[in-house]
């Protein structure tokens, strides 16, 4: 089952939707359904990671700022401490 949905977009966004629809030989509806599905999946993954992070923080599984900076500097190939 599908449910109709009204969406208001600015003129430029509509032109881009129509352009993409024409280039891919798809309907506006197809383009918008695909965009919404992709957004929901990405947002759900982001929210899931945030929730897991909050749960870990609530359990006390935290990393200090100094530890994070030390690891970031190692990743960047720098062995010295950052300047304050």
**Would residue 82 count as lying in a domain?**
no
Report the C-alpha gap between 33 and 23 in whole angstroms. Answer: 17
What is the domain range of residue 30? 11-75
**Would residue 60 count as lying in a domain?**
yes
**Would residue 26 count as lying in a domain?**
yes
Indicate the number of domains in the chain: 1
**Would residue 35 count as lying in a domain?**
yes
Q: Is the pTM of this model over 0.95?
A: no
**Would residue 6 count as lying in a domain?**
no
Instruction: Quote the pLDDT of residue 84.
Output: 60
Residue 81's pLDDT band (boundaries 50, 70, 90)?
Answer: low
């Amino acid at each position: 089952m599908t449910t109709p949905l009204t969406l208001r977009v600015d003129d430029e966004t509509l032109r881009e939707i129509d352009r993409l629809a024409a280039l891919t030989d798809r309907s506006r509806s197809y383009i918008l359904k695909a965009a919404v599905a992709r957004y929901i999946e990405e947002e759900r993954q982001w929210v899931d990671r945030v929730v897991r992070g909050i749960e870990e923080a609530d359990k006390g599984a935290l990393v200090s700022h100094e530890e994070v900076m030390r690891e970031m500097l190692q990743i960047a190939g720098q062995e010295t401490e950052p300047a304050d």
